Amino acid sequence: MPPVTPADPTRPRIALTAGEPAGIGPELIARLAGEDLGADLAVIADARLMAERAEAIGVTLELEEFRLDARPPPGRLGIIDIALAEPSHPGSLDPRNARYVLETLAQAADGAASGTFDAIVTAPVHKGVINDAGVPFSGHTEFFADRAGCRVVMMLVARDLRVALATTHLPLAAVPAAITRDGLSTTLRILNTDLRRRFGLAAPRIAVLGLNPHAGEGGHLGREEIETIEPVLEVLRKEGLDLVGPLPADTAFVPSQLTGFDAVLAMYHDQGLPVLKHAGFGHAVNVTLGLPYIRTSVDHGTALDLAGSGRADAGSLRAALQLAIELAARPR
Ligand SMILES: NC(=O)C1=CN([C@@H]2O[C@H](COP(=O)(O)OP(=O)(O)OC[C@H]3O[C@@H](n4cnc5c(N)ncnc54)[C@H](O)[C@@H]3O)[C@@H](O)[C@H]2O)C=CC1
Ligand SMILES: NCC(=O)COP(=O)(O)O
């Protein structure tokens, strides 16, 4: 038996979910397992799967059962072992493992809510296969929000560019109706609060994009700016929020226009995220704001085409861990 090292209360404890078993999540975690980033990690995954994927990419991985009162010795990784329903093969989705994926998320959420973990970091899940298994599922963001019973905001960070979303995983046709005064006010309040509380920005300046081309062209190309976005900004400015917009989205990301803004609020997923990923894919981080705990994630998906090959880049997972550790260290 290796010697037991008592837990160190100064090191954050982080739940790390391995995500879709047929994707790149397990091997990215195995790749980072040997690095001490300054936190104690509890991987929530099937232990045999983790060992198989480590072997597939030629990485040595030593696992031991996660304990609250002790740290694994250097080079070993704490694990909360959740059994797969069926053996998983790289690149090959199996809906029978969807419940396993959801169980890993549930254990992470409950552990963070109870204070066992200081933060959750998630490797990618495959949203489609969970739905194929008959479970309606839009994403981690919505799953953790539902479980915590609160409203949240998705924000991706690539160096000094922060892009938050007013709507998340919705068909494009459903977006206009989903942008309501209530929803937008809540999103902006959460964004403003968490930029201050978690990111230490004393008075965040937020650029708010329009929904339509040219921010509606004075009502000739859509009325959402006039009827929904502008009235919300007017009310929130009176509360002291520093909001600029609605801005035409096509020029808002021109570097000279972005100067001075701490974050951009895009109205929908593919209005904001392509720009963010163009700027930072491989080291960007997805953060869920508004939760009672910290949750970060990678900027990429399950990359089934790379699973098991050892060619997937662990940069975004490392960045997600580093940001979670940094946020956990801040007073809240
Ligand atoms: N945080 C999460 O759980 C996320 C999950 N997804 C899910 O992932 C699934 C697949 O989504 P796609 O749109 O195909 O995006 P994807 O990010 O999995 O793949 C897009 C392209 O990027 C490459 N790529 C992705 N990660 C990489 C890495 N770490 N290193 C090198 N290359 C990498 C892939 O090989 C592929 O060519 C979907 O079901 C989607 O919902 C997508 C984004 C985030
Ligand atoms: N494109 C971002 C994404 O899909 C991540 O979503 P989530 O699973 O973190 O909610």
Residue nearest ligand 2's atom 9 by CA: 140
pLDDT in tens, 66-86: 988 878 877 789 999 999 999
CA 307/CA 301 separation, integer angstroms: 11
Closest ligand to residue 31's CA = 1
Mean pLDDT of the residues in the chain: 95
Structure tokens that stand for 304 in this block: 């089934």
Q: Which helix (H) or strand (E) holds 77?
A: strand 76-81
pLDDT in tens, 179-192: 999 999 999 999 99
Spell out the alpha helix ranges (H) of 4-134.
Answer: 25-32, 47-56, 98-114, 127-132
CA 150 vs CA 254, 286, 288: distances in Å: 34, 18, 11
Ligand 2 mutation target, pool 297, 300, 317, 323, most atoms within 8 A of CB: 297
CA 143/CA 140 separation, integer angstroms: 5
Widest distance between CA atoms in the chain: 73
Q: Which sign does the torsion angle of CA 295, 307, 101, 84 carry? A: negative
Give the mean model confidence (pLDDT) for residues 102-112. 98
Q: Of 22, 57, 2, which is closest to residue 313 (Cα–Cα)?
A: 57
User: Known binder of ligand: residue 277?
Assistant: yes
pLDDT at 120 over 70: yes
pLDDT in tens, 213-229: 999 999 999 999 999 99
Cβ proximity of 15 and 119 under 8 Å: yes
Share of the chain above pLDDT 70, in %: 98
Residue nearest ligand 1's atom 24 by CA: 303
pLDDT at 42 over 90: yes
Which ipTM value was assigned to this complex? 0.98
The structure's pTM equals 0.96
Residue ranges of domains in the chain, CATH in brackets: 1-150+291-331 (3.40.718.10), 154-282 (3.40.718.10)
